[in-house]
A = this chain, B = another copy of it.
């Protein structure tokens, strides 16, 4: 009799595989209020590592962290017309507080452009105050009708950057810098996801933006996931909130702005990019635990050895965990670490001690081989970097294999059933985009033929990537 699979196989039911993995790898639970989630320690560890890596890049780009209130007066939202229209259906409203009804209800922030502009308009006085580069790590709330853990949740965690600049060019360049140097670099080189950098069509833009840059990733089932966005806001919010500065030549000018964000949705993207039928596979550069050293049996010498190896690897800069919980069967623990996608397992039993070896199990390529304990600390960093590169290669190969060049709208719709389609924007346009939308196929982004980000929707040689999406 074949062993029952731990997870529903991807090929049988991808959404169910996703939910199974999240439960069994103990990443998250559904919250009691519809659409909310509880992020369990191992899942939160993934998010914490994302935060660390992103935060360092955001600071390198010159932005400083700050914190703005959760509660926004309802009147702020209405100041920017497109913005309120975009968010109104998703708002959660506090009407009662401190034992009585509020005179003016307050909304729980769905994003912070409005409240931040209220303060930018006080803080920015002169050109000397620009650029003003602020980031915030926070929770936001958007009431979700069709929630799915990590991907669409009523409350999620994110960072939202907000900046004000003296000129259009400076704002445009900063939005592009965040897009490429912060988000693109992080997703490609840490998450090992081969994201495509492009621009959104007018239809898909953020509510209140003049341009939205996006990073799109192909999931294991060929659908797309928007991993992050960076917006040029133009002067829309500046006009609504009178965010002005005194220029060098003594005139009052409106600032030019950007905003940009990534969220816990990236955890969902990570799972659906790298997971397989045995569980998650975490890229080594991200992994909160890069290697686990397992004692196969509760033998004193084995326990002492796994701890010693743990100390050695820690000293070598590896994020390591020792698993000496030998009152739980070894097989169950091995399956659990596999589910959690820890890149490397080092398994040590009594026979290994005699030979001076251990079994090295690599989660990413799969397979096990004996390894000499002597050289482990020297070998492991190389193994981890190899497996990091392998994951990125697999991500790229999947995207290339499942992207089809097409010439008509019908062909695009057809190709989008199993992957992505590339079609010249000139052959699609807003009308073709609307037709595809009727079949739940969207333009994920526009790219130039050379892979760069077009400066306008109708720039010559612009290609649309279309697909179904999460």
Binding site for B on A (CB under 8 A): 29, 31-33, 36-41, 43-45, 47-48, 64-73, 76, 88-99, 105-106, 108, 115, 118-119, 122-123, 128, 134, 138-139, 141, 143-145, 154-155, 157, 325, 327-328
Contacts and interface: CB of A to CB of B under 8 A. Distances in A.
Copies of this polypeptide in the complex = 2
Which of A31, A33, A65 has most B Cβ within 10 Å? A33
A325 B13 CA distance: 60
Contact of A38 (B69, B88, B90): B69
Contact of A32 (B41, B76, B92): B76
A322 to B, nearest CB: 14
Which of A45, A71, A95, A119 has most B Cβ within 10 Å? A71
B64 A41 contact: yes
Nearest to A141: B70
A32 B41 CA distance: 34
A424 to B, nearest CB: 39
Nearest to A28: B67
Given A41-B64, A66-B40, A66-B41, A33 B95 contact: no
B155 A70 contact: yes
Which of A38, A47, A89, A115 has most B Cβ within 10 Å? A38
Nearest to A32: B73
Given A38-B119, A64-B45, A71 B29 contact: no
A278 to B, nearest CB: 23
Which of A68, A89, A97, A123 has most B Cβ within 10 Å? A97
B69 A118 contact: no
A119 B96 CA distance: 27
A99 B144 CA distance: 11
Contacts of A128: 325, 327-328
A445 B99 CA distance: 30
Contacts of A138: 139
A45 B119 CA distance: 18
5 contacts: A31-B68, A36-B71, A39-B66, A39-B68, A108-B108
A289 to B, nearest CB: 11
B98 A33 contact: no
Nearest to A116: B38
Given A29-B119, A33-B73, A72-B32, A66 B95 contact: no
A66 B29 CA distance: 11
Contacts of A38: 66-69, 119
A-B complex: 8 closest residue pairs judged by Cβ atoms: A98-B143, A41-B64, A36-B69, A92-B97, A31-B69, A39-B67, A93-B96, A33-B71
B31 A44 contact: no
Nearest to A43: B66
A154 B102 CA distance: 14
Contact of A122 (B29, B47, B139, B145): B29
B106 A97 contact: no
B69 A155 contact: yes
A97 B143 contact: yes
B118 A32 contact: yes
Contacts of A65: 41, 44-45, 48
A36 B98 CA distance: 14
A13 B467 CA distance: 65
Given A71-B36, A71-B155, A89 B99 contact: yes
A157 B67 contact: yes
Contacts of A40: 66, 123
A162 to B, nearest CB: 12
Given A31-B69, A96-B105, 10 more contacts: A36-B70, A36-B71, A38-B67, A40-B123, A69-B155, A71-B92, A71-B141, A92-B94, A95-B95, A128-B327
A139 B68 CA distance: 11
Contacts of A97: 91-93, 143
Contacts of A92: 71, 94, 96-98
Which of A36, A45, A105 has most B Cβ within 10 Å? A36
A115 B30 CA distance: 12
Contacts of A88: 99
Contacts of A144: 98
Nearest to A48: B65
A292 to B, nearest CB: 15
